[in-house]
């Protein structure tokens, strides 16, 4: 055995690394050289089912092994060294004084971030980005479209299918799937978690999603499990009934929310009957009408390459990831061409709607579809953020009219939306609506100071960069760029463009685009 271990110095990268490990351990005084050579401290009685004396001839057997076997064994040992600490004990050694960890090898310079984009033969689009600044491997899978592809009268069927996918598969029952994900340290999410506030911005009628995060060491199994959920979800009566009960509770909660009701009714005013106005969770009636056969049929049309955008970020070679995607998802059929959502209407005529829920808090939603030149987007983002801050200071902090107030700009299908939202007491509704409109009008005429613009730019960029710090957020961002037909990195370049926005730019776009007279209005008492 000793001679065989010494022979690892003869050649081979793995054997050379193992020999350095042995030499370093000896030179550090962990053990004498002749003591450290016997790595396998096993007896035959420790190996279940082995015959007596199984290891007696170990040195002879080891010395007879060919170099290829030693190379393979050395490679396995080298891979494991980074995950363990060695402890040696023996006569004359004080307990606790013998812990030793092999010195870290000098790491080669990290390669620059790598990015590849393309499509599999079945139409699945992918973007894979490699960066070595985090040990997290993240995958975002977008299924496009969502509501536009749901059968008539079956609103919410996509959400129901996602709950089935992440619960169990034909290979792994629910408990086994949960245990396997836990064992490799992976997290997979496929529906909004109502217990986490403000994370539902990516739950829209436009697309559905699966999100996975795992240690890079478990990246390959994570991709396989994700593909298993997509291709072979377990659709049975027990699982579907459980998911329907959960969805029924969420639908009832949403129906009782003044804020959610105001947002839904505003969508319907701006684009009547459009798929973007459909409910992601469906209605009580639509969810109840979905049977097992409906869900099985829908899954076959849903899990197709032509509807999927897979984006990946992590410290793994891009070629390896693409090969894994091809192996695990390339066998999916391309499917029928997915239905395309119609254009969002560009009506300049504002609408009005009201509803009564009898809640202690009322909700106000104002909004319009907004059209602007693409080069004005950075300045418009800053202008809307500045307006939001001024409305909050006036209506909430100074006048005490608002529980919450916000001004937002966001993509909506093939268009953009400008919205104002506010929560207030029922008795303040009239004054609050006037305050929102007057505040937007005043902002168009107000002085825009360069220092205020700089402060807003820093705040907007800071919030956006914080959201993009995680690997899964980078994967999400890449997926949205593909879905909207943008080039890779467009979102980041837009953030960089904010730094060039001036006070004059903000004044110009506010006067040109932020006209409160165009806002439709919904009030929910």
Given a cut of 70, whether residue 306 has pLDDT beyond it is: yes
Higher pLDDT, 339 or 321: 321
Question: Are the CB atoms for 328 and 310 separated by under 8 Å?
Answer: no
Given a cut of 80, whether residue 173 has pLDDT beyond it is: yes
Given a cut of 80, whether residue 4 has pLDDT beyond it is: no
What percent of the chain stands above pLDDT 90? Answer: 65
Three-class DSSP labels, 385-426: HHHHHHHHHHHHHHCCCCCEEEEEEEEECCEEEEEEEEEECH
Question: Are the CB atoms for 262 and 398 separated by under 8 Å?
Answer: no
Tens-place pLDDT, residues 258-272: 999 999 999 999 999
What percent of the chain stands above pLDDT 70? Answer: 80
Question: Number of helices (H) and strands (E), helices first, in the chain?
Answer: 19, 13
Tens-place pLDDT, residues 149-161: 999 999 999 999 9
Helix (H), strand (E) at residue 138: strand 136-143
Cα torsion angle, 479, 484, 488, 491, sign: negative
How many Cβ atoms from other residues are within 10 Å of residue 119's Cβ?
Answer: 12
pLDDT band, very low/low/confident/very high, at 193 (cuts 50, 70, 90): confident
The SS3 assignment for 243 reads helix
pLDDT band, very low/low/confident/very high, at 113 (cuts 50, 70, 90): low
Given a cut of 70, whether residue 84 has pLDDT beyond it is: no
Q: Rounded to an integer, what distance in angstroms lies between the CA atom of residue 18 and that of residue 8?
A: 7
Higher pLDDT, 135 or 69: 135
pLDDT band, very low/low/confident/very high, at 6 (cuts 50, 70, 90): very low
Q: What are the sequence ranges of the domains in the chain?
A: 2-100, 114-329, 352-524
Higher pLDDT, 442 or 63: 442
Given a cut of 60, whether residue 280 has pLDDT beyond it is: yes
Q: Rounded to an integer, what distance in angstroms lies between the CA atom of residue 368 and that of residue 388?
A: 16
pLDDT band, very low/low/confident/very high, at 330 (cuts 50, 70, 90): very high
Tens-place pLDDT, residues 495-513: 899 999 999 999 999 999 9
Q: Rounded to an integer, what distance in angstroms lies between the CA atom of residue 349 and that of residue 205?
A: 24
Helix (H), strand (E) at residue 451: helix 450-467
* Fold exhibited by the domain 352-524: Cytochrome Bc1 Complex; Chain A, domain 1 (3.30.830)
Question: Are the CB atoms for 230 and 124 separated by under 8 Å?
Answer: no
Evaluate whether 114-329 and 352-524 have a shared fold.
Answer: yes
Higher pLDDT, 20 or 391: 391
**How would DSSP label each residue in 147-215?**
GGGSPTT-TTHHHHHHHHHHH-BSSS-HHHHHHHHHHHT-EEE-S--TTSTT-GGG--SS-EEEEEEEE
CATH (residue range 114-329): 3.30.830.10
Which residue has 């699945």 as its token pair? Answer: 124
């Amino acid at each position: 055995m000793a001679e065989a271990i010494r022979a690892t110095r003869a050649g081979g990268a793995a054997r050379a690394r193992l020999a350095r490990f042995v030499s370093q351990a000896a030179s550090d005084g962990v053990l004498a050289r002749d003591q450290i050579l016997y790595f396998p401290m096993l007896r035959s009685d420790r190996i279940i089912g082995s015959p007596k004396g199984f290891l007696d001839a170990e040195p002879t057997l080891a010395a007879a092994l060919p170099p290829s076997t030693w190379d393979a064994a050395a490679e396995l040992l080298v891979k494991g060294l980074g995950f363990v600490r060695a402890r040696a004990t023996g006569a004359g050694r004080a307990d606790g004084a013998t812990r030793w960890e092999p010195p870290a090898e000098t790491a080669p310079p990290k390669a620059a971030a790598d990015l590849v984009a393309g499509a599999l033969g079945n139409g699945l689009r992918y973007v894979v980005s490699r960066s070595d600044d985090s040990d997290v491997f993240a995958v975002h899978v977008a299924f496009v479209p969502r509501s536009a592809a749901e059968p008539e009268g079956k609103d919410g069927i996509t959400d129901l299918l996602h709950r089935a996918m992440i619960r169990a598969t034909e290979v792994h029952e629910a408990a086994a799937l949960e245990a396997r994900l836990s064992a490799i340290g992976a997290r997979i999410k496929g529906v909004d978690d109502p217990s986490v506030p403000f994370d539902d911005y990516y739950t829209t009628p436009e697309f559905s999603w699966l999100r996975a995060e795992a240690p890079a060491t478990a990246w390959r199994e994570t991709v396989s499990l994700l593909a298993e959920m997509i291709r072979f979800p377990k659709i049975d009566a027990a699982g579907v009934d459980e998911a329907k009960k959960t969805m029924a509770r969420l639908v009832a909660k949403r129906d009782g929310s003044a804020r959610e009701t105001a947002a839904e009714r505003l969508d319907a005013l701006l684009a009547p009957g459009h798929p973007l106005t459909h409910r992601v969770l469906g209605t009580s009636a639509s969810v109840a009408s979905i049977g097992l056969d409906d869900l099985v049929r829908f899954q076959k049309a849903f899990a197709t390459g032509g509807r999927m955008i897979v984006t990946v970020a992590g410290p793994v070679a891009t070629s390896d990831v693409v090969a894994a995607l091809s192996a695990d998802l390339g066998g999916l059929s391309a499917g029928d061409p997915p239905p395309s959502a119609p254009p969002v209407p560009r009506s300049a005529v504002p609408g009005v709607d009201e509803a009564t829920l009898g809640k202690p808090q009322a909700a106000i939603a104002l909004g319009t579809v907004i059209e602007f030149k693409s080069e004005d987007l950075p300045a418009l983002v800053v202008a809307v953020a500045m307006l939001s801050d001024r409305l909050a200071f006036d209506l909430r902090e100074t006048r005490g009219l608002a529980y919450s107030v916000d001004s937002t700009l966001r993509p909506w299908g093939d268009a953009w939306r400008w919205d104002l939202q506010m929560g207030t007491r029922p008795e303040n509704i009239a004054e609050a609506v006037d305050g929102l409109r007057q505040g937007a009008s005043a902002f168009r005429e107000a002085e825009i100071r360069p220092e205020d613009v700089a402060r807003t730019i820093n705040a907007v960029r800071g919030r956006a960069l914080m959201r993009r710090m995680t690997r899964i957020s980078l994967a999400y961002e890449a997926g949205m760029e593909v879905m909207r037909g943008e080039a890779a990195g467009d979102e980041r370049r837009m953030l960089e463009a904010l730094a060039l926005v001036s006070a004059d730019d903000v004044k110009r776009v506010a006067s040109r685009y932020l006209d409160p007279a165009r806002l439709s209005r919904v009030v929910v008492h």
